[in-house]
Structure 1
């Protein structure tokens, strides 16, 4: 809900005038605060993906070696797909033990009698695909190379500034129309814009998908849709008689 708010500055000015303090600065207008939002839509042109390899073995060293061997193939496939080095970043490496528990103690807090049965090694990388048209091929190349965990994509606009500029213009136009409505209703005129501040902005929605162990002989279809970028403006106008 948009609300008209008389600012503290204006109230103080009126009080000083009533007290006859001729030495204090005065504001003769009424201040009105307006909040407005502008939006612009664009087709995403950048996709972020998290891909990794999970391996298991009875010995920790064997789990890590198998993981490293398989992950090396995945990295080679990523580079072969045309992903630049700056867009490839390791996000996590882990090694955890895997236990089995007696069936009747699975829900017990202490879970006594557990047996160490092996180790699970994980290695994950984040990558950016800057050509959405190749995203399906990249996803398929990852699975063909042995990636057994894929999360994403998170879709975004690579250069959001033109869309944000459009959203700012839209928000400003809305604010100007609203303050003019208040001025007309009060029998006043819009004198000037006192201040403007910009709130957070971002893209939404961002379609998400998750694939694990996808078929190697199929190309994963991806629909980029549209991303909405928004800008919130808080503006203060001065009205005068």
Structure 2
């Protein structure tokens, strides 16, 4: 008669102990044994891209003024004089201050190297390099000619770009997603399965154009008011994406 209450208390103690087990501990006890890996659901990984052609609305001209003189001070002074003329020419061409950026200012010693003789100092060379953004494409050629007339003796080339790439990139994104969906549906049909939801999506964007145009100004022109002709062409805006789709077997 005394043992019956004891038998009733044992299940109650077990219930209290189970209630005290935290959720993480319970989840851990239900995890698969060590060495056993859960099989990932079937999925499909694909890549696609979208590309649009657009006309540029701006141009960048990289140029420089290089001077040489017997002394460093003279080389820098001459360079500053030429650059002052160049900046005045840019202002007359309608280029805003915000569209003129100095890329580099360098001063270096110049040596002559003769056989069996130590290097001989010839003088100093100063270089001031500038990038100008031209927002009116009809003025690209005349702007290049203007800075050359003012003293620029180095032009690396002319490149073109877009003030705002958003609209072109969005159009390329739509084309890329359309291509990705088409591929995913095609593969699902060929495999005889149903296409599930998309699990992940990533993208990368780029814009390409023909290589920068080399600039060469003719020493003699038939007409004094002739200017360099520049053709902007087209830019290619491209968006590359990759996506992962679930497959329903």
| Conservation of the 8 A alpha-carbon contact between 1:36 and 1:174 | yes
Unaligned runs of 5+ in 1: 1-18, 20-24, 106-111
Q: 1:38 Cα deviation (Å)?
A: 0.7
Structure 1 or 2, whichever has the larger Rg, is: 2
**Alpha-carbon deviations, 1:78-120, whole Å to 9, x = none?**
1221111111111111111111121x35xxxxxx422112111
- For residue 63 of structure 1, the aligned residue among 70, 75, 79 is 75
Per-residue Cα deviation, 1:20-60 (whole angstroms, up to 9, x for no partner): xxxxx997x52111100110111111111112211111122
Which of 215, 223, 243 is residue 235 of structure 1 equivalent to? 243
Instruction: Give the RMSD, CA atoms, in angstroms.
Output: 2.2
Aligned residues: 211
**Residues 102-154 of structure 1, C-alpha deviations (whole Å, 9 max, x = no match):** 1x35xxxxxx4221121111111111111111101110111111111112212
What TM-score do you get using the length of structure 1 for normalisation?
A: 0.80
- CA positional deviation for 1:206: 3.4
2: CA distance, partners of 1:98 / 1:141: 29
* CA 227–80 in structure 1, closer or farther in 2 if over 3 Å, else same: same
Q: Which of residues 229, 235, 244 is equivalent to 1:221? A: 229
Equivalence for 2:60: 48
| Structure 2: 5+ residue stretches without partners | 1-31, 33-37
After superposing on structure 2, the runs of 4+ consecutive aligned residues of structure 1 that deviate more than 2 Å are 209-218
